Amino acid sequence: MQKGLFITATDTDVGKTFICGAIAAAIKGRGIRVGVVKPVASGGVIGANGKLVSEDATFLMSAAGIGEEQRQQVNPVCLRPALTPAVAAAECGVTIDTAQLISTCQAMIAKSELTLVEGVGGILAPIWRDYLVADMMLELKLPALLVTRPDLGTINHTVLTTEYARQRGINLAGIIINRWDEDKVTVLERSNLAYIERLTGLPVLGKFPAVSMVQPGQASMKRLGELAEQHLAVDDIISLMTGVEEIA
């Protein structure tokens, strides 16, 4: 049994890392050993130790309570250019071994109780040559959550992503709407939500608010986990990961 979940989004910058971190922090808060993987990252930065690091991996490791010594297992490929990985790798003369990426994810899944894998960009982002995020999702055989925006354009992006996933046989199991502020939503966000539910037929497993900057660190990650418990259907998400219960 693959006890994990793949987090994708309708685009880059929608909130995969943020939501993945929030779910990881909530799971950790329940006393469960949670693993995180960001198999490939681009737009890496020079870290305190002078090495190229992925800020996404830093955030996820902090949320999951995973130490720096495991960075390579969390994020085996980190590329400097802020380009889609296939292009970033080509620019740097790096070869991405996709079989190795899958093994990295499987190793984390094997040693953790529950594992979250963050994709890169959206479902069609090229990881290496014509190997796309969707291909990785299929190989990993994990259920997936789709993180979406609440604002104008989201119906189109969300339904297109869902339809493509169905066409490829990917088990997209639910949607999380990120940056949803209950006090501020108007007819725009409410109608987007209604259309997304109706046109995708998928459950919306949470609407996460926009919160003030969360930096990696124990206290803020604990708070992020509490927010996840408040705004996301964490029980249902864990059930998806363990395959215990089908969500209607």
Ligand X SMILES: Nc1ncnc2c1ncn2[C@@H]1O[C@H](COP(=O)(O)OP(=O)(O)OP(=O)(O)O)[C@@H](O)[C@H]1O
Instruction: List the single partner that 79 binds among ligand X, Mg ion, none, CB under 5 to 8 Å by kind.
Output: none
Residue ranges in 111-170 that form contacts with ligand X under rule CB under 6 A: 120-121
Nearest approach in angstroms of CB 50 to ligand X is 23
Nearest approach in angstroms of CB 195 to Mg ion is 26
**Sole binder of ligand X in the list 4, 16, 57, 75 (CB under 6 A):** 16
Residue ranges in 22-81 that form contacts with Mg ion under rule CB under 5 A: 56
Q: Which of 140, 142, 161 is nearest to 12 (CA)?
A: 161
Nearest approach in angstroms of CB 98 to ligand X is 18
Instruction: List the single partner that 106 binds among ligand X, Mg ion, none, CB under 5 to 8 Å by kind.
Output: none
**Sole binder of ligand X in the list 103, 210, 217, 235 (CB under 6 A):** 210
**Structure tokens of 59?**
């955030």
Q: Is 15 helix (H, G, I), strand (E, B) or coil?
A: coil
Between 17 and 161, CB nearer to Mg ion: 17
Catalytic center residues: 38
Residue ranges in 216-245 that form contacts with ligand X under rule CB under 6 A: none
Distance in angstroms (rounded) separating the CA atoms of residues 158 and 201? 11
111 — phi, psi (to 5°)?
-100, -5
The CA angle 11-13-238, to the nearest 5 degrees, is 80
The CA angle 192-195-198, to the nearest 5 degrees, is 150
Stretch of residues binding Mg ion (CB under 5 A), selected from 15-23, 144-152, 198-206, 207-215: 15-23
Sign for the pseudo-dihedral over CA of 13, 143, 99, 67:
positive
104 — phi, psi (to 5°)?
-60, -45
Q: Mind giving me the DSSP string for 121-185?
A: SSTT-EEETTEEHHHHHHHHT--EEEEE-SSTTHHHHHHHHHHHHHHHT--EEEEEEES--TTT-
**Sole binder of ligand X in the list 2, 12, 70, 242 (CB under 6 A):** 12
Residues that bind Mg ion (CB under 5 A): 16-17, 56
Residues that bind ligand X (CB under 6 A): 9, 12-18, 56, 120-121, 178-179, 208, 210-211
Q: Which residues are annotated as a binding site?
A: 13-18, 42, 56, 118-121, 178-179
